[in-house]
Amino acid sequence: MDQKLSNGHANDPPSSNGHQDSSQPVQEDNTLGKMRKGSPDSFCDLRGGPSMPLFGMDIGGTLTKLVYFEPDNIDDFDQAEQQTLRTIHRYLMGSTAYGTTGIRDVHLEMKEQNICGRQGRIHFIRFPTSQMPAFIDLAKYRKFSGLASGICATGGGAYMFEDVFESEVHLQLHKYDELDSLVKGIHYIDRYNLNSECYYFCNPLDPSSCEKMPFNFQDPYPYLVVNIGSGVSILSVRSKSQYSRVSGTSLGGGTFLGLCCLLTGCETFEEAIELASRGDSENIDKLVKDIYGGDYNKFGLKGDAVASSFGQMMSKEKRKSAKKEDLARATLVTLTNNIGSIARMCAKTEKIERVVFVGNFLRVNTISMKLLAFAMEYWSNGSLKALFLEHEVCIRIAICKILLSQCLDFRFVDP
């Protein structure tokens, strides 16, 4: 269950703009390197460990995610540290924190996590990046600078708000590359979540027989990551230390929400998905059967395949009868089909059979997940498998979850 936090700031939709260019393979740097202001190395000596408390932020184009590690036993801390940890616990775990738009995702809490030699649990909070000015005001009021020496951060907002955090809140944002964090985060969550994390769908478009099946992700290489945030980035991952950005598109979750706001008057991601769940895109799209009268067998196109997204809207009469629910559904199908098509072409080019879909676009969005699962298998004649992660589906991308691990253990190592 989500816990809404009132009196401060936070909410939903997609996250991470997904447009960072990382076209060259990225290799891990095993050297300590020079200490730099605002860099990870300036926050934590790799030979030691950071002091508590531990925070991480993923400041995306639409959504900001906050992660906090809470030690189980604080008795072995000194009195000042104990008081700080108790203050943070009361604040973050209580019912008053980030305003009516703020959510603490209780069901995503990760227990029995060992970080920096301490046992504890990881908590997750989210709020709209548009509320960042109010969050900064809150951080000033709550004197966050007295509770933490710095905050590990990723996403475009880590750069956009860096100076404001330092001048207004007196906290440094110690920046991490978001795509590097994403890849490491996927591995971290899959290995350290106590429950099965990775899964796929059997019979995704058949309500009577559709079933979620666990997938063993212990030896996943190579695989594609399709990170669907405000925009989309597609990564080819060859090992735990090497990946490259092979493609992307500006048509992502932000596009879906923006178009739905224009077409239906909705205001939130959840509202847009709810409308789509009750709509019928066939009233908006032109299908193969609308053109050929049935299947186009020569090229294996089923009659109910979309031939022209929003093609019915060329008709004045069809436009008059269009419902908000149908428009939302057609928008969702259009964006999902586009993402799936690009992902399939990338998988074919890279000669990869596993495609992991992540990002907040998939939160509370089983419609898109099942469409992607069906499309990957159908159009590849069964050679491609669409994979999903429990934490990705429920709330957010894995970027935020690895931040704590990065500031304690900069080099990800398979257990």
Asked if 330 and 371 count as a contact pair (C-beta separation under 8 A), the reply is no
What CA–CA distance (Å, rounded) separates 276 from 301? 24
CA 231 to chain centre: 11
Asked if 245 and 18 count as a contact pair (C-beta separation under 8 A), the reply is no
Q: Is 112 a catalytic residue?
A: no
Please report, for residues 26, 143, 222, 336, the alpha-carbon distance to residue 324 in angstroms, rounded to integers and kept in the order given.
Answer: 44, 45, 41, 18
What CA–CA distance (Å, rounded) separates 243 from 223? 10
Q: Residue 243 has which token pair?
A: 């990946």
Q: Residue 255 has which token pair?
A: 């596009």
Beta bridge partners of 211: 202
DSSP state of 301: B
Length of the chain: 415
Please report, for residues 154, 175, 235, the alpha-carbon distance to residue 22 in angstroms, rounded to integers and kept in the order given.
Answer: 15, 16, 9
What CA–CA distance (Å, rounded) separates 392 from 190? 11
Beta bridge partners of 70: 121
Catalytic residue, from 28, 81, 168, 178: name it: 178
Instruction: Select from 33, 61, 44 the least CA-distant residue to 403.
Output: 44
User: Which residues have a catalytic role annotated?
Assistant: 178
